[in-house]
Chains A and B, each alone.
Chain A
Amino acid sequence: MPDNSGGGRGDSSVEKAREDFLSEAQELVDGLSRDLLLVDQQTRRGESDPHIVNDIFRAVHTLKGLAGLFGAVRMAAVSHELEELLDDLRLGRIELGVKVVDLLFRGVELYGELLLAEKGHAPEPTQAVEEFLFSLGAVTHQGAPGAGGQVAQYEIDSSILGVLTEYEEHRLRTNMKADVALYRIRVQLALTTIDSALDDLKAAARPHGEIITYLPTGSGSDADRIELEILMASHAELETLRGAFRGLDVVVEAVKKRGGGGSRSSQVDATPAPSVPLAPAAAPAQPPQDELDEAVVTPWPSEVAALSPKPVHTPPPAERGSVSPALTVPPPFPGVVHPEAAPGAQNRDLSLRSVSQTVRVDIRKLDNLMNIVGELAMVRAALGRITERARGDARLRGFGSELHRLQRSFERHLTQMQNGILEVRMVPLGQVFEKLARVVRQISREHDKEVNLVITGAETEIDKLIVEELSDPLMHMIRNAIDHGIESREERSLVGKPAAGTVALNAFQKGNHVLIEVEDDGMGMSPEVLTETAIKRGILKREEAEELTTREIFNLVFVPGFTTRETATDFSGRGVGMDVVKTNIAKLGGVVDITSEVGIGTKITITLPITLAIISVLGVEVHGRSFAIPLASVEEAIVLDEALVRSYDGREALTQRGMTLPICRLARLFELEAPPLSDVGARRPSKPCVVIASVGNRRLGLVVDRLIGQQDIVIKALGPSLRSVRGFAGATELGDQRVGLVIDVAALMDEVMASEKERIGVVEGARAR
C-alpha cells in the first residue's frame, strides 16, 4: 500500500482526492457495466467489437491504478486479475464466450460491493473476492496462442510503429492477418474545435473499419492547430473512404504493401527514416507477445534514433522486467541544435478553455443554495407586505409602485435562480436503468426464463438524490416481475405468447412529477386470488374484502406480510419487499400504484416528485395562521362533521367508513388564539375540515379552519435555535405573501400519539417560537 499519509501533504486535499477516487471509480464501474451489456448482446449475435473490449480493459486498468493509489487492496487485487483476463481477451489469447462474459459481470457486481465497502456502507466482501479470484484463475492463461497466418507486409513508418502501444500494435497485426487494407489519413484540426471535429471523424470512420492510432505529426502544427496522422484499417476501397470523409478536409492514402504496387507511401516528416517491414509472424506455437517482440520491436531503437532531428545518444532499451519504479535516463536531447523561430506571440492569446467544462459538486452544497432560495422567498414575502402597505398609503404611492416594480424583478430572478439550481440537481434516469439491465439478465438466467428489457424515456431527468434511492425498489419490482410475472417458456408457448417475456421500463415526465412504469407481459394477477390470499394471511377480513375496489385489491401486494407464493425463492416471494418498496418510494415523496390483468400482465406505476428540493403541500389555515402539510402524507380532506366525533380518554376520534380515525385540532394543539373578528370579517368563516394524514400504517386527522390549496414550495429549514422543536419540518412562503410552518406529519403523530406529558412539550415548544 502506498504511503499516502506521508510527505506532510494537506489532509483535505488528499481527502478530496479520495472522494474523487470514489466517484471516479463508480463512474468507471457504471461505464464498465454498460459496455459489458453491449458485449453480451454482441456475443450472443456472434459479433465482436474490439474497441469495446479495449474500453473495458482500459477501465479496469484505470481502476487498478486508482485502487493501488488509494490503498483499496482488494479492489486492486480483483482489478489485477480482471486485467489479465481482459488483456488475454483483447490480445486474442482467449475467446470471448458466455462463460467469460458471466465472469466479467460477476466482476462488475463485485466492484459494486467493494465500492460500498470503501465508502464504509458495507463490510469488505472478503469471501466473495477470494472465490472470484479463484474462478478467474481457472480461465486466464488457458487459451492457445492465436494462429499466425500469412501476414501481408506493409510499409509503415518506423515513427508510427515506435509509438504504438502494445494493444495498438496487436490491433494492427490482427487487421493485417485478416488482410484488411491499411490507410493513412492526414488531417489538420483547430485546437479550439478539436473535440467535435474528432467526433465527426470517428463517426465517418466507424462504418468502414477500425482506427488504430492517432499520431500528432508535429509538422503543420502551430499554436492553433495540429496535424494528425490517423492509421486506419478498412475493407473499403480508397475511393469509398475518400467519399466517407468528404467535407472533413482530410487526405486519405492507402498504405503501400511491400513489394506490391499500391499507392505512394508518404512519410511523417522530412527525416529519411527507412520503412520497417512487418515480417510474417513467428511459428504459431510461440505466444504472440514474443512473436511481436521479434517481428517489430527489435529493429526500432535504431530507427528511432535515426528519426530524431539531430544526433542523439539513445539509451539502450531496458531489458524486459528491469524497468524499475524510479528508473531515470539521461535526457536524450542535450542542447539546442535547431535554432528556429520562437513560438509566436499569439500563444498568449490562446484561450485557457481546456481540461474540462464540468465540475463535480457535492449535492449538499446545492441543498444549501436551495435553502438560501427558501430564505429569500421569505424576504420577498416580507417585502411584498411592505409594498402593499406603501401602495395603500396615498402619501407613499409613488414609492410603493417603484418598490412593486423592484419586487417583481426580484421575484422573477429568484424563480430563475431556483430553476437553475434545480436543473443542476437533475440527472437522467438512464443511470439507474442501466444497472437494472444487468439485473434482468442475471435473474432471467437464474430462472431460466428469456426476458427482454425494453427501456423508454431513459433521458427523463430527476433529482440526483432520488435516482440514488430508486435502484433498490426498482430492482425488487423487476425481480418480482420476472419471478412471479413472466411464465416459464412452456407455459408461455401453451397460451400462445412468444417464448421471450418482456419487461418494459418506461419513464416520462408529467408536470412536476416523473412517472416510472414497470410493466410485464406475464401471467398477471387475479383479484380473487389476491383477496383469498389476503384473507388467508389474516390481512383482511372477508366482510372487509367485499368493500374493496379492484384497485384497492391490487394494492394489497404492498401490505406487509403479503405473498401468494408458498415457497420463497432467493429473490422474491418472501413476503418482504413490496411493502418495503412502497415505504421507500413514500420516503421520496412518491406513490406506487398497480394494475393487472390475468393473462396479459402487470403494470406498476411509480409517481415521484421531480426533485426533493421542492415539495407539494396542502396549504391550510388555522385561526388566521398558515400551515403547510406535505401532500405525500395527505390521504384526503373531508368536512368535519362534529356529530361523528367521539371522545375517549380525553382524545378525540372520528368514525369514518367504519374505521376509527384519531383527530387532532391544530388550533388547540398549538394553543392558537382565535383571531379578532375584524381580521376574519372579509372572509366568510368556513366549516372546519379534517385533513387525513397518513404515514405508513398510521393515520391522523388534522382539524383545520380552511383549506388554502395545493402548491409546490421550497422548504426553508428552521434555524439552529428552533431545531429542537418537534413537529415542524421548516418554514415556507405560501404565496400571497404569507409565511407558514411546514408540518412534519410523522413527528407530529409521534408527539400527539405519545403521552400527555410529551404533548405539552410540543405545545410549549411551538409557543416558544
Chain B
Amino acid sequence: MRRLLVVEDSASTRALVRAIVEEGGALGACEVIEAASGFDAMRLLPRGPYDLILTDINMGDINGLELIQFIRKSDRHRDTPLVIMSTQSTERDVERGLALGANAFVAKPFSALALSKVLASQFPHAGQ
C-alpha cells in the first residue's frame, strides 16, 4: 500500500485526487492522506514516510514553494518524490518549485489519466 500526502487547500480537489488515486486502479493500492494547508502538511510530515507528496503552490501562509524547500531540507523526506499540481498561469512559480527539488508537475485542471501518468512516473515500478 503506497501512501500519498496530498497538500491542497481545496477540499473538492483533494476529494478528486483521492478518487483518482485510490479507486482509479492505475496506480495499484494507494492511500491518500490529505493536508488542507502548508501547516497541515508540516503536521503530517513527521507521520511519514510517504511514497509521494503532491502539492499545490498557491496556498495561504506557508506556500507550496516553502513547503518544497522544507521537505527537501528534511532528512526524512529529501528523497520522496514530489509532484507539483498548479495552474499553468503560475508558470514561474512552477519553475521555482522544480528548481527547489520537485520532480514533476501536473497542470490543473488535470484529467484522471494525466494525473495517474505523472504519479506513476514517480514510482519505482510504475503501474506495478
Contacts and interface: CB of A to CB of B under 8 A. Distances in A.
A326 to B, nearest CB: 5
A8 B104 contact: no
B99 A304 contact: yes
B12 A24 contact: yes
A214 B111 contact: no
Contacts of B67: 216
A325 B105 contact: yes
B69 A163 contact: yes
B2 interface: no
A17 interface: yes
B12 A66 contact: yes
A16 interface: yes
A65 B57 CA distance: 12
Given A7-B24, A162-B99, A317-B99, A356 B93 contact: no
B116 interface: yes
Contact of A7 (B11, B25, B43): B25
B30 interface: no
B112 interface: yes
Contacts of A317: 95, 98-99
Interface in A6-63: 6-10, 13-14, 16-18, 20-21, 24-25, 58, 61-62
A309 interface: yes
Given A66-B10, A69-B109, A336 B39 contact: no
A315 interface: yes
A412 to B, nearest CB: 37
Contacts of B11: 20, 24
Interface stretch (A175-183, A346-354, A563-571): A346-354
A269 interface: yes
A343 B93 CA distance: 31
Q: Interface residues of B: mostly helix, strand, loop or mixed?
A: helix
B98 A355 contact: no
Contacts of B16: 14, 17, 21, 69-70
B107 A325 contact: yes
Contact of B74 (A76, A218, A332, A352): A218
Contact of A163 (B65, B91, B110): B65
B4 interface: no
A304 B96 CA distance: 10
Contacts, number: 231
A218 B69 CA distance: 9
Contact of A2 (B23, B47, B70, B111): B111
A696 to B, nearest CB: 41
A338 B75 contact: yes
Contact of B79 (A215, A315, A336): A336
A402 interface: no
A215 B39 CA distance: 11
Contacts of B72: 308, 332-333
A21 B58 contact: no
A331 B81 contact: yes
A549 B112 CA distance: 68
Given A21-B12, A352-B47, A332 B101 contact: yes
A561 interface: no
B106 A325 contact: yes
Contact of A355 (B34, B75, B99, B107): B34
Interface string B70-105: 101111101101000001111111111011111111
Given A3-B111, A69-B108, A214 B88 contact: no
Interface in B42-62: 42-44, 46-47, 57-58, 60-62
B91 A323 contact: yes
B43 A68 contact: no
A166 B92 contact: yes
B66 A216 contact: yes
A327 interface: yes
B47 A350 contact: yes
Contacts of B99: 162, 300-301, 304, 314-315, 317
B19 interface: yes
Nearest to A293: B92
B12 A213 contact: no
A463 interface: no
B14 to A, nearest CB: 8
Contact of A14 (B19, B46, B69, B121): B19
A6 B42 CA distance: 33
B115 to A, nearest CB: 9
A195 interface: yes
B36 interface: yes
Nearest to A202: B61
A321 interface: yes
Interface in A206-232: 213-218, 223, 226
Contacts of A318: 95, 98
A232 to B, nearest CB: 13
B100 A162 contact: yes
B19 A17 contact: yes
Contacts of B81: 331
A709 to B, nearest CB: 47
Contacts of A14: 16, 19
B3 interface: no
B75 A343 contact: yes
A325 B114 contact: yes
A18 B12 CA distance: 7
A266 interface: no
Contacts of A644: none
Contacts of B65: 162-165
B103 A329 contact: yes
A286 to B, nearest CB: 16
B101 A350 contact: no
A415 B105 CA distance: 54
A333 B69 contact: no
A24 B46 CA distance: 29
Contact of B76 (A165, A321, A343): A343
A231 to B, nearest CB: 11
Contacts of A333: 72, 78-79, 101
Given A58-B60, A66-B12, A9 B20 contact: yes
17 contacts: A8-B24, A10-B23, A13-B19, A70-B12, A162-B99, A164-B65, A165-B63, A215-B62, A215-B69, A297-B92, A304-B100, A323-B94, A325-B88, A325-B107, A328-B121, A347-B46, A354-B40
Given A3-B111, A7-B25, A214-B62, 6 more contacts: A67-B109, A191-B46, A297-B92, A321-B91, A325-B105, A331-B81
Interface of A: 2-4, 6-10, 13-14, 16-18, 20-21, 24-25, 58, 61-62, 64-70, 76, 83, 87, 159, 162-166, 168, 191, 194-195, 198, 213-218, 223, 226, 269, 297, 300-301, 304, 308-309, 314-315, 317-318, 320-321, 323-333, 336, 338, 340, 343, 347, 350, 352, 354-356
